[in-house]
Amino acid sequence: MRKVVIVGVGMTKFGRRVEGLMQLLSEASLAAMDDAGIGDKPLDAVYVSNMAGGILNHQTALGSSLVDRLSLLPAAAETVENGPASGSSAIKNAYFSIASGAYDLVMVTGGEKMGDVPGFVATDAVATMSHPEAEYPLGITLPSLAAMFTKLYMERYGITSDQLAMVALKNHLNGLKNPYSHIRGDFILEGVLHCPEAIVNNPYIAEPLRLYDCCPVSDGAASVILCAEEKAKEFTTVPVTIAGFGQATDHQTVHEREDPTDLKAVTLAAKKALDMAKLTPKDIDVAELHDAFTILEIAQSEHVGFFKKGEGGKAVEAGLTQIGGKIPINPSGGLKSRGHPVGATGVAQVVELVWQLRGQAGERQVKNASKGFSLNFGGFGNNVIAFVLKKGA
Amino acid sequence: MRKVVIVGVGMTKFGRRVEGLMQLLSEASLAAMDDAGIGDKPLDAVYVSNMAGGILNHQTALGSSLVDRLSLLPAAAETVENGPASGSSAIKNAYFSIASGAYDLVMVTGGEKMGDVPGFVATDAVATMSHPEAEYPLGITLPSLAAMFTKLYMERYGITSDQLAMVALKNHLNGLKNPYSHIRGDFILEGVLHCPEAIVNNPYIAEPLRLYDCCPVSDGAASVILCAEEKAKEFTTVPVTIAGFGQATDHQTVHEREDPTDLKAVTLAAKKALDMAKLTPKDIDVAELHDAFTILEIAQSEHVGFFKKGEGGKAVEAGLTQIGGKIPINPSGGLKSRGHPVGATGVAQVVELVWQLRGQAGERQVKNASKGFSLNFGGFGNNVIAFVLKKGA
């Protein structure tokens, strides 16, 4: 396999955007192309990652549309969809296209425009990735799956609501330092959980998960440009290498898994990515995990191996996952604060890691970060993709 | 790049099926796995190609669902979408995944379940790949685009309605010999065009295109299993090699193209695929083209280089594209007769070529076929993918 290097990154501000899906994809793409100084050098291919453009925006074939809009013809183009892991799936395939020798310079742009429809329609659109017979027709949505998982995880490991809230508080604090973040509020634990107004300010979405335990519904796009190592110098002086990737699937429905608290696909995908990079969790300087719900950041931090099973909640309490802590998790603000435009998320995770490894993350910079890790969580953990990125080529 | 070999193929009968999308994808996959004698050897990855599952079936993340349903965990999985070229896009990415050395054994299953909704809703779903500002809001659908293209092509090259009908007649005759075909009727030119009942039997869909010039709306799925050359012997004694591929994009809207009758992406994709295989159009023994409308088979046969510009219509009249002719086109019946479940089509084209190159095509066998060519036409020619397949490893 040829080595593959990231030579450009860009993203839009996440949040409620007036722009349409194609405009958001274009904005992120142009930012990445500008970052890489593409100029008039031809891109070989463009991968778009998007989950629900057909349902939410009544638009398909986004890849074809984007290459035309950006005057990148006759570059190859297609869309990759893998639920909330669409972004990482697209990056993986772009990576293979260069590693194989077929292409040299490839852009991956992920995006989702969720605000064109009411919130419950967006939640329903995301639920189309649930099991078509055993979940969706019964009204199961991702928040309800996460709530059931949280209850089991609390019972098994003694995770507390306060620990969950601390994940949200940390990520919102990080998000405050991220100009691309959707939700930028300065919250304190007492304000969201322990004051009389909390029941109004922070109501249950699906018990025991409250509003502040759930990521927002966001619009936005993110983009990365990948390049064969030998040509990377044409585009960047701060290359970041894809040193490892791993993907694994699990039973689509949580209730079919032998132990519903065991996220096997997370463990396996992370191990594959770290093994390929010849690293262990201890070597990682900064991580972007998939905190669509606060419980997921804790559970993933344990399954990846940053902490032992049952110790992720205590680690958050002890500040180990803050910027400056033992293993900073979601310095970007994560899905919780940066937002979760579904098809953009996996790409945005990699964008943040690139900024961190380049030392361009501003106020939220993790000092001396040279090895980054991302985890993109599809379905309810039924399709997980991890990347290990290393500073340098 | 490592050489990649097709070791298994399978498909469902196309047509109006009572089964749901996941059942169709499973049926085709199991047929391909059986054909390759996969047994309990683990597949590394599964690519699903599908265009409009979110809109038509309210289902996404089909890859995750399929690997679970078929007990292929923890195989990697994702969905690739590229309008009507989704199938070939998925095969291309599966091909890269093996060529890169990342995976050894990968399945691609394409499918679409279009009959769950009324026909006009299916037509609308397909139109979601049109331009979101310059086409879709104006009511432009694929049949109307094809009709405008046909008028221009007739004016420029003198193509006649009879020549278009002869494409349909040939493909329906071929489809009669294909047990997987959607429409299996024995038509004659007089019956569809020149008898008093023709106006009723074969009305205009979008002038000058009549009912028999348009492919049906179909349900169905098709599957291929790709393998690294060095392991192919474990699975098949009749390997077929992917000798070339090519992809090219063009302006999304036809009206932006300098010459609307010039299908540049077809010419370019075909040339790339043939160049990679070190072949010319003359070397091809059998071709599957994308006859969503009869005019497209004629126009593509010219743009690929089987015939000179303006001679494709006469070639059909002269019988050159029949089985036994100079270059048999669509022995399967093509989209016209076999049907066009959008996400399945590109895969079904490759399945037919594999059967032809193996000598397993029964009554529709092209004698001594050793080199096959497929062309999958996305959008209205804005994203085109071609493959060259060779008998043997």
Q: B76 φ, ψ to 5°?
A: -65, 150
- Asked if residues A251 and B73 have their Cβ atoms less than 8 Å apart, the reply is yes
Nearest residue on chain B to A2, judged by CA atoms?
B100
Q: What is the pLDDT of residue A132?
A: 87
Per-window interface: A 234-263 vs B, CB < 8 A: 247-252, 256
Q: Are the Cβ atoms of A129 and B52 closer than 8 angstroms? A: no
pTM above 0.90, yes or no: yes
Per-window interface: A 154-213 vs B, CB < 8 A: none
pLDDT in tens, chain B (393 residues): 899 999 999 999 999 999 999 999 999 999 999 999 999 999 999 999 999 999 999 999 999 999 999 999 999 999 999 999 999 999 999 999 999 999 999 999 999 999 999 988 999 999 999 998 899 999 888 999 999 999 999 999 999 999 999 999 999 999 999 999 999 777 777 777 777 777 678 899 999 999 999 999 999 999 999 999 999 999 999 999 999 999 999 999 999 999 999 999 999 999 999 999 999 999 999 999 999 999 999 999 999 999 999 999 999 999 999 999 999 999 999 999 999 999 999 999 999 999 999 999 999 999 999 999 999 999 999 999 999 999 998
B134 touches chain A (CB under 8 A): no
Enter the tokens of residue B373. 């060519």
Would residue B137 count as lying in a domain?
no
Q: How many CB atoms lie within 10 A of CB A223?
A: 33
Q: What is the pLDDT of residue B211?
A: 92
pLDDT digits (tens, 9 = 90+) for A217-241: 999 999 999 999 999 999 999 999 9
Query: Long-range contacts made by residues A129-134, C-beta under 8 angstroms, separation at least 24?
Result: A129/A51, A129/A83, A129/A84, A129/A378, A129/A379, A129/B59, A129/B60, A129/B61, A129/B64, A130/A252, A130/A253, A130/A379, A130/A380, A131/A252, A131/A253, A131/B65, A132/B20, A132/B21, A132/B22, A132/B57, A132/B59, A132/B65, A134/A253, A134/A255
Would residue A66 count as lying in a domain?
yes
Give the minimum alpha-carbon distance from B75 to chain A in angstroms, rounded to a whole number. 6
How many domains does chain A fold into? 1
pLDDT digits (tens, 9 = 90+) for B97-115: 999 999 999 999 999 999 9
Per-window interface: A 79-118 vs B, CB < 8 A: 79-83, 85-86, 89, 92-93, 96-97, 99-102
Enter the tokens of residue A350. 């990699």
- Closest of A139, A124, A115 to residue A217, by C-alpha: A115
Nearest residue on chain B to A246, judged by CA atoms?
B76
**If you average pLDDT over residues A134-158, what whole number do you get?**
94
pLDDT digits (tens, 9 = 90+) for A372-393: 999 999 999 999 999 999 999 8
In whole angstroms, what is the distance from residue B322 CA to residue B316 CA? 8
Q: What is the pLDDT of residue A269?
A: 98
Give the minimum alpha-carbon distance from A188 to chain B in angstroms, rounded to a whole number. 37
Enter the tokens of residue B225. 């299993």
Per-window interface: A 313-342 vs B, CB < 8 A: none
Amino acid residing at B291: D
- Closest of B36, B26, B84, B13 to residue B238, by C-alpha: B36
pLDDT digits (tens, 9 = 90+) for A317-339: 999 999 999 999 999 999 999 99
Would residue A71 count as lying in a domain?
yes
The mean of the pLDDT values for chain A is 95
pLDDT higher at B59 or A184? B59
- Asked if residues B287 and B373 have their Cβ atoms less than 8 Å apart, the reply is yes
Interface A-B, measured as beta-carbon pairs within 8 A, has a size of 216
A123 touches chain B (CB under 8 A): no
Give the minimum alpha-carbon distance from A132 to chain B in angstroms, rounded to a whole number. 7
pLDDT digits (tens, 9 = 90+) for A199-213: 678 899 999 999 999
In whole angstroms, what is the distance from residue A301 CA to residue A327 CA? 10
Per-window interface: A 282-301 vs B, CB < 8 A: none
Q: Are the Cβ atoms of A68 and B252 closer than 8 angstroms? A: yes
* CB-neighbour burial class of residue A222 (10 A; exposed 0-12, middle 13-18, buried 19+): buried
Question: Which residues of chain B make contact with A92, given a CB cutoff of 8 A?
Answer: 76, 78
- B51: domain range? 4-118+217-234
Q: Is the pLDDT of residue A187 over 80?
A: no
Q: What is the pLDDT of residue B196?
A: 74
A129 touches chain B (CB under 8 A): yes
Read off the pLDDT band of A192 (50, 70, 90): confident
Q: What is the pLDDT of residue B194?
A: 77
In whole angstroms, what is the distance from residue A156 CA to residue A153 CA? 5
ipTM: 0.97
Q: What is the CATH number of the domain that holds A225?
A: 3.40.47.10
Give the minimum alpha-carbon distance from B121 to chain A in angstroms, rounded to a whole number. 12
